[in-house]
Amino acid sequence: MDEELLRLQQELAEVQLEDSEQRLSDKNVVTLILKLIQLKKVELVYTVTGKEYLTPSQLENEIEDELTSRGGRLRLDEMSASLNIDIIDVENAVKNLVNNNEGISFLGSIEVITSWYLDTVAMEWNELLQEKGQ
């Protein structure tokens, strides 16, 4: 299905570059997307504004990028605001990431941390202990 989706995206990009008198209106595009969702041909996550969509895998990629840019520790509400995605969708995507990635964990129920964040904290504490003595 990913190959078909990539092929369709490429076709869409090519068609959009062509000059044409016949173009789909925004309303028609929305109707098509809603029909694809209804037929379960595509799964999408809406932004809070409803003007943009993400696939679940793209949302997970965005979450991983956000964790990286924020140092490996981030609250779900901050992630939701930053990504402009409803917190329920963010929480579901993070749960999926946690289940499929040993390097990402929940800290309590509202915060996400990475293993490299914990490694960094451990190294900082070790250095501090070395400097201050036993």
pTM, whole model, 2 decimals? 0.73
Instruction: Please report the pLDDT score of residue 92 as a whole number.
Output: 94
pLDDT greater than 90 at residue 25: no
CA distance 26 to 21: 15
SS3 96: helix
Question: Which pair of structure tokens corresponds to residue 56?
Answer: 């679940």
Q: pLDDT band at residue 50, thresholds of 50, 70 and 90? A: confident
17 by DSSP, 3-state: which?
helix
